[in-house]
Structure 1
Amino acid sequence: MSSKFKLKYYFKPSLQSIPETSTVLHWKSSKGLNSFEELRKYVKDGEDMAKQISNILQERSDLDSSYAKALSKLAAKTMKVSRESSGTIAAAWHAVGSEMETESELHKTLALSLSEDLVKPFRHVIETQYRTRKAVEVTVDKTARSLAEWRAAQAKAKKLCYMCARDNEKMKDVEFGDSKHGRLRTLSEKETVKLELNRRKSEETLRKADVKYYTYCVSAECARLDWEAATNRGSRCFHAMEEERLTQMRDIASQYLSVVKNLSQKLVQIADRLNIPIACCSIDSDLQTVVSLRSAGSNVSEQLLPDFYAEHVSNVMNRDRRKKTLEKCLNLICEDIEREKGAKIGVEKFQKALQENPKFGTDESRQEITDKLKHLRSMLAFLEATKVKVSNAVADIENKPKTESPFVKYLEVHKDKQGLIQSVLKLPSWVQDLDSEGESPSGSDSPDFIDEGTLDEGQPDSDFDEFSSPESDSEDYSHSAADSLSPKALKNTPPLQQEIAPSTRGNGGRCRALYTYTANMYDELTIHPGDIINIHDKQEDGWWVGELEGNIGIFPETYVVELED
Structure 2
Amino acid sequence: MTSSSTAYIDKPTFDELLKYTKQNADICKEMVAVLQERSDLELSYQKALSKLSVRANKINPTTGGTFLNAWKTLSKQFEQEAQSHKTISIAIVNDAIKPMKKLMEQRAKERKSADAPVDKAIKAVTDRKNDVFKAQKNLLSKTKEFESTAAGSEATKNNKGKELSQKERSKLSTKHGKTSEAINKADREYFKAVKTAEQTRFQRIITMNQTAFALQNSESAYMEEIKKIIIKFVDVLGQIIPLIRGNYDAMKNGFASVTCATDVQNAIVKGNQATPEEQVLYDCFEDDMNISLSQRHRQYHLQRKLEMLDNVVNNVQKEQKSSGGKSVDKLPPNYSYLETIQDRDMTNLWNASRFRLVCALASVNSKPKPSNPVATYIRSEKDRSGGVKSFLNIPRDQKGQATLTVSTTSASGMTVDLSVENTKVQPVAAPQNPAPPSANPIPAAAAVAAAAPPAPAPPPAAQTNTQNTPFDEDGDDWDDEPDSGEKYVALYDFEPAGEGELALKAGDSVLVTQKDDDGWWNGTVNGITGQFPESYVKKADGL
Q: TM-score when scaled to structure 1?
A: 0.32
> For the pair shown, which has the larger CA radius of gyration, 1 or 2?
2
